[in-house]
Amino acid sequence: MIARLRWVGATVLVAVAVVIPLVGLAVDSLRGSDITAVWSRSGVSEAVWFSLGQGALSTIAAVVVGLAPAWALSRFDLPGRRVALTALTIPFVLPTVVVGAAFLAALPDRFDRSVLAIVLAHVFFNVSVVVRTVVPAWSAIDEYLLDAARTLGASPFTVARTIVWPLLRPALTGAAGLVFVMCATSYGVVRLLGGPGRSTLDVEIYRRAVDLADVSGATVLAVAQSLVIVALFAVWSRSATHRTSISTARRRRAPIAVTAAVWTLVASFATVPGALVLASFRSASGWSTAGWRAVFTGGDGLRVPVDVGDAIVNSLVFAVLAALVAVPFGVALARAAVSSSSRLADFVASLPLGSSAVVVGLGIIVTYDTGVFDVRGEWWLVPLVHAAVALPFVVRAVIPMVEAIPPGLAQAAATLGASPGRRWLDIDLPLLRPALATASAFSLTMSIGEFGATSFLTRRDTTTLPIVVDTLLGRAGSLPHMTAFAVASVLLVLTVVAVTTVDRSVRA
């Protein structure tokens, strides 16, 4: 019983921020409208098919693009290998609106609002997943095994088919499954780069609720989206068989062509944020710092309902508050999941992962709307929901470290008379420090970039940077767009700083 109390806070958080809103939505959708009528409306089945279609297309593209550098980085030692590896995996932590804005900036105007732009942005995001998953698996394939096969006369194709492919398949299908889930439920990228007829379910939910004032239609779609996500995760968890492999790390020196190809890809990745920063200085009539001036003067003259400076402060404060909630709660959940191998703790930690943030945001405003429970205008709603969204990632970052703490240590200390607080300070905390840093970095970056739930929850005085980017990109004219690109650049820098500072503080 007492052991349960440790993670009651996390459970309450998930219940309040995720479960109750989802139940509220489900009840609302049953009560509110004719479900079959919503399904037959135009735009709905299109959104389902577009979600799955572009998801499949993006997955194929990301796997194809990701396999080449994964092969090169697994089999060869090339100059700057670690830098290349980092550069290819950084996009994964970037906020979705930053990537969306960067592709708006990078692509010629005629590709704006096209499927091509969406797929390219998804590839940029998800090559990291493929590289991260496939490189360890491919590195672990023993070169001697391949040499032996070749000596026995196997053609390169036969080697690939009979040795490499079977050994890579689990990692590859796991990566492809995850990429598909991410792309099919994509929101920020599609909000910015899609257009009429190019909406995923999440985007269609937002469009109905906020552009068309069709809340009952949006609630029905939200329930549908939740079912789709559960199905996707079921498929993914079957495909993902996690196997940690140890790198044999016997890499040959890379031929010039391979080195050049890898660095060309890295360079092309770097052009994306580069184009974003450049676009923040490019007005309709030449170069200009007007966009950046608008950022630093708070956005006067832009006629947007926000102060950019306030939004920066809001984003930072919310990120820190969210981390202060998510990290301790996540650690408590991780310990419960490890020590009692409680399936319930694991389930609580997975709930936010298995729900769409957009659906959660909508659920909160339709559920908490009466009497003393009417909290729609409260500022703390935003960091609270961010904490819930970050929780699963915190738990997953902490669990391996918690598992690694020898149980005997705490018992020995207790025998020697150390109080629980003392044991936590002297044993657990130092051992968990790297994990806490990773968890904090995850929580900070997720909160700074969170767009799905936030797009329903912020108000004029609680606006965050991603909302500002989206609002500005929706305005006509070159000044709002330059400012949007400048704000997105700020967001990019904040994210990278959050990741690297926390990372460095661990090493220090």
Partner 1 sequence: MSRIKPLSFTILGALALAVTTASCGDDSSSTPERLVLVAYDSFTPPEGAFDAFTAATGIEVDVAVGGDAGELVAKAALTAGNPEGDVLWGVDNTLLSRALDADVFDAYVSNAHPLDASLVAAGANSVTPVDFGDVCVNYDIAALKALGLPAPESFDDLADPAYSGLLVVASATSSSPGLAFLLATVAQFGDDWPDYWSRLVSNDVLVVDGWSDAYYTAFSRYGGDRPLVLSYASSPPAEVLFADPPLPADADAPTGVVTSTCFRQIEFAGVLRGTDHVAAARLLVDYLVSDEFQSLLPESLFVYPANTATVLPESFVRHAPTITSPLVLDSAVIAANRAAWLETWSRIALP
Please list every residue from 365 through 384 that binds partner 1, using CB under 8 A: 365-366, 369-370, 374, 376-380
Q: How far is the CB of 60 from partner 1 (least distance, A)?
A: 25
Instruction: Count the site residues for partner 1 by CB under 8 A.
Output: 49
The token pair at 165 is 């492919």
- Per CB under 8 A, contacts with partner 1 among 202-261 are 209-215
Nearer to partner 1, 240 or 381 (CB): 381
State which residue, 476 or 508, has the beta carbon closest to partner 1: 476
Told to check if 338 binds partner 1 by CB under 8 A, we report no
Of 98 and 331, nearer to partner 1 (C-beta) is 331
352 DSSP 8-state letter? T
Choice from 1, 2, 227, 372 touching partner 1 (CB under 8 A): 2
- Per CB under 8 A, the list member of 62, 223, 304, 494 interacting with partner 1 is 304
- Of 80, 197, 301, 309, the one binding partner 1 (CB under 8 A) is 197
> Interface with partner 1 includes 417 (CB under 8 A)?
no
In the bound state with partner 1, the residue whose beta carbon lies nearer, of 102 and 209, is 209
Instruction: Give min distance, CB of 432 to partner 1, in A.
Output: 11
The single-letter code of the amino acid at 300 is D
Q: Choose, by CB under 8 A, the member of 153, 166, 196, 408 that binds partner 1.
A: 196
CB of 97 or CB of 175, closer to partner 1: 97
Is residue 175 within 8 A of residue 63, CB to CB? The reply is yes
Which pairs count as long-range contacts for 204-210, CB under 8 Å and 24+ apart, including other chains?
Answer: 204/43, 204/44, 204/47, 205/358, 205/359, 205/362, 206/358, 206/362, 206/455, 206/456, 209/362, 209/456, 210/455, 210/456
Whole-number minimum distance, CB 377 to partner 1, in Å? 5
Least distance from C-beta 478 to partner 1, angstroms?
11
Residue 414 touching partner 1 (CB under 8 A): no
Does 420 interact with partner 1 (rule: CB under 8 A)? yes
Residues 88-107 binding partner 1 (CB under 8 A) are none
Residue 112 near partner 1 by CB under 8 A: no
Task: For Cα atoms 134, 139, 145, give the angle at the middle one, nearest 5 degrees.
Answer: 120
Give me the 24-43 binding string for partner 1, x by CB under 8 A, dash otherwise. -----------------xxx
Contact call for residues 261 and 92 (beta carbons, < 8 A): no
Task: For residues 16 and 29, give the distance between their C-alpha atoms in angstroms, rounded to a whole number.
Answer: 19
CB of 305 to partner 1, least distance (A): 5
* Bridge partners for 77 per DSSP: 253
Cα gap 227→461, rounded to integer Å: 34
Residue 82 interacts with partner 1 (CB under 8 A): yes or no = no
**Whether the Cβ atoms of residue 168 and residue 51 lie closer than 8 Å to each other:** no
> Considering the complex, what minimum distance in angstroms separates the CB of residue 199 from partner 1?
11
> Residue 244 or 370: which CB sits closer to partner 1?
370
Q: Which is nearer to partner 1, 65 or 215 (CB)?
A: 215
Please give the single-letter amino acid code of residue 431.
Answer: L
Which residues from 308-337 bind partner 1, rule CB under 8 A?
Answer: 321, 324-325, 328-329, 331-332, 335
Q: Tell the smallest beta-carbon distance from residue 304 to partner 1 (Å).
A: 7
Alpha carbon distance 308, 299 (integer Å): 6
Amino acid at 382: V
State the SS3 of 240-309.
Answer: CCCCCCCCCCCCEECCHHHHHHHHHHHHHHHHHHHHHHHHCCEECCEECCHHHHHHHCCCCCCCCCCCHH
Neighbouring-strand partners of residue 252: 76
Residue 321 C-beta: closest distance to partner 1, Å: 7
Query: Which pairing describes strands 282-283 and 252-253: parallel, antiparallel, or unpaired?
Result: unpaired
Cα angle 86, 92, 93 (rounded to 5 degrees) comes to 95
Contacts of 275 (CB under 8 A, 6+ apart): 102, 105, 106
Residue 294 C-beta: closest distance to partner 1, Å:
16
For residue 204, give the nearest of 47, 38, 384 by alpha carbon.
47
Of the pair 13, 121, the CB lying nearest partner 1 is at: 13
Instruction: Answer yes or no: are the C-beta atoms of 434 and 400 closer than 8 Å.
Output: no
Residue 459 interacting with partner 1 (CB under 8 A): yes
Q: Tell me if 460 contacts partner 1 by CB under 8 A.
A: yes
Sort 82 into a burial class: Cβ within 10 Å, 0-12 / 13-18 / 19+: exposed
- Tell whether residue 111 is a contact of partner 1 (CB under 8 A): no
CA nearest 249: which of 383, 98, 371, 77?
A: 77
What is the three-class DSSP state of 373?
Answer: helix
Q: From the list 28, 202, 204, 428, which residue makes contact with partner 1 (rule: CB under 8 A)?
A: 428
User: Minimal distance in Å, beta carbon 198 to partner 1?
Assistant: 10
Q: Contact region for partner 1 (CB under 8 A) — 147-155, 245-253, 345-353, 469-477?
A: 469-477
Under a CB-based contact definition with an 8 Å cutoff, are residues 361 and 453 in contact? yes
Instruction: List the one residue from 108, 407, 421, 430 that touches partner 1 (CB under 8 A).
Output: 421
> Residue 26 or residue 210: which is nearer to partner 1 going by CB?
210
Interface contacts to partner 1, rule CB under 8 A = 2, 5-6, 9, 41-43, 196-197, 209-215, 303-305, 321, 324-325, 328-329, 331-332, 335, 365-366, 369-370, 374, 376-380, 420-421, 423-424, 428, 456, 459-460, 474-477
